[in-house]
A and B are shown apart, each in its own frame.
Chain A
Amino acid sequence: MCLDDQILNTYLDGELTEPWKTQVEEHLNYCVACKTRFGQLRTLHAVVSGSRLEEQEIAPHKEKVFQFIERNYMEKKNKIGFLHKDFRIKTPMLLSAAAAFVFVLVGALLIGPSTQAEPNGLIPRVVPATEGSVVQVRATEGLAASQVLENYPLEEILKYLDSRGYEVDLRVKGIQPMGEEADEPAVPVVEPVVEPTVTE
Chain B
Amino acid sequence: MEIKSSENESFRLVYEEVFPVVMRVAYHVTYNMDVSEDICQEAFIRFYEKNIDFRSVDEAKYWLIRVTKNLAINVMKRKSREQAMVDKIKKAPKVPVRNGEDALIDSETRTLVREAVEKLPEKLKSVLVLKEYADLNYKQISGILHISESNVKVRVHRARKIMESMLDREEMHVS
Please report A residues at the B interface, Cβ cutoff 8 Å: 5-6, 9-10, 13-15, 40-41, 43-58, 61-62, 64-66, 68-69, 73-74, 77
A126 to chain B, nearest CB (A): 72
Q: Is the interface of B mostly helix, strand, loop or mixed?
A: helix
Instruction: Please give, as numbers and ranges, the residues of chain B lying within 8 Å of A66 by CB-CB distance.
Output: 15, 19
Q: Give the residues from 89 to 148 in chain B that come closer than 8 angstroms, CB to CB, to chain A.
A: 93-96, 104-105, 109-110, 113-114, 117, 128, 131-133, 137-138
Q: Cα distance A5–B94 when bound, in Å?
A: 35
- Whether B24 is near chain A, meaning CB under 8 Å from some CB there, is yes
Stretch at the interface among B33-41, B55-63, B71-79, B80-88: B33-41
| Measured CA separation A77–B11 after assembly (Å) | 13
Evaluate contact between A51 and B137: CB separation under 8 angstroms. Answer: no
Could you tell me how many residues of chain B have their Cβ less than 8 Å away from some Cβ of chain A? 48
B23 proximal to A (CB < 8 A):
yes
Selected from A44, A65, A69, the residue in CB contact (under 8 A) with B160 is: A44
Q: Which residues does chain B contribute within 8 Å of A48, judged by CB atoms? A: 113, 117, 128, 132, 160, 163
B52 at the interface (CB under 8 A from A): no
The residues of A that contact B96 with a CB separation of less than 8 Å are 54, 56-57
* Contact B8 A52, beta carbon cutoff 8 Å: no
Is B1 in contact with chain A by the CB < 8 A criterion? no
B113 touches A47 (CB 8 A): yes
Q: Which of A53, A57, A68 contacts B41 (CB 8 A)?
A: A68
Which has the most chain B C-beta neighbours within 10 Å: A9, A15, A44, A47?
A47
